[in-house]
Structure 1
Amino acid sequence: MPTWQDGEFTWIRGRSQWVPDRRMQQYASAEEVDALPCPPPGDGWLYAWAWQDRAAGRVRTRGFPRRGDAIAEDEATGASAIVLTAELQRALDIIQGKGSQILTRPGPNGTVEVGGRVILEETRSL
């Protein structure tokens, strides 16, 4: 998998076919995404998203593995960002979790490029 640094973002290039199954679910607003319980009821990976600014490609997302383990919410999931970008076929500026920003764009030959940064909020032992 190719990787590179561009300013403060680290980038990778991948394919949506490489991502294990997960459901993308669009909501009417970022506030609706923010109001979801953690985790929402149901089984299987859920990537909840809503447009914050469609023209700018800005979305609010939350990722829920719903595996029954200690991780109730994934604060920054590049794999889900790849799938959403492949489905929408456009560059995105994704705000996920409390301190992450993920940038995506369609890449060459059906790939998706993902760049991101995170802010460390706390360290936990699992």
Structure 2
Amino acid sequence: MPTWDEGEFTWIRGRAEWAPGRLLQEYPSPAAVEALTSPPPGDGWLYVWAWQDRAAGCVRTRGFPRRGDGITEDEATGASAVVLTAALGRPLDITQGRGSQILTRLGPDGTVDVGGRVVADD
């Protein structure tokens, strides 16, 4: 899996099919995504998202593993960002969790490039 530095980010390239079983659920607004106090009911990985600015490709997301191992929310998940980018077919600027930033863009041959910065979990 190739990685490279570009500007202030380190990038990696992946494919949506490398993260099978991730459910994407669009919400009506970023406020609705932020208002979640716990993972929505269900099983399996859930990536909730809403447009912040559709024209600019900015989205607000949260990632919920829902696998029963005590990890309620993933602060910044590149795999889910790859899946969302592939599904929408466009580059994204993603705000996830408490404020991590994930940038994505379409790569060659159906791949997705992903880079970003994570808010530390105190």
Normalising by the smaller structure, the TM-score range is over 0.9
Q: Which residue of 2 aligns with 1:71?
A: 71
Residue identity matched to 2:73: E
**What amino acid sits opposite 1:105 in the alignment?**
R
- Long gaps (5+) in structure 1: none
Equivalences, count: 122
Q: Which runs of 4+ in 1 moved over 3 A?
A: none
TM-score (norm. length: structure 1): 0.93
Q: Is the 8 A contact 1:4 1:12 kept in 2?
A: yes
Report deviation, 1:72. 0.2
- Alignment partner of 2:38: what SS? coil
CA contact (8 A) 2:75 2:119 kept: no
1:52 matched to 2:52? The reply is yes
- The answer (yes or no) to whether the contact 1:64–1:72 under 8 Å persists in 2 is yes
Please list, as runs of the form range in 1=range in 2, the aligned pairs for 1:1-126 lying within 5 A after superposition.
1-122=1-122
Q: What's the secondary structure of 2:31's corresponding residue? A: helix
SS for the counterpart of 2:42 is coil
State the Cα distance separating 1:43 from its structure 2 match.
Answer: 1.2
Cα distance, 1:121 vs structure 2: 4.1
CA-based RMSD: 0.9
2:79 alignment partner, SS class: helix
**Percent of aligned positions with the same letter in both sequences?**
73
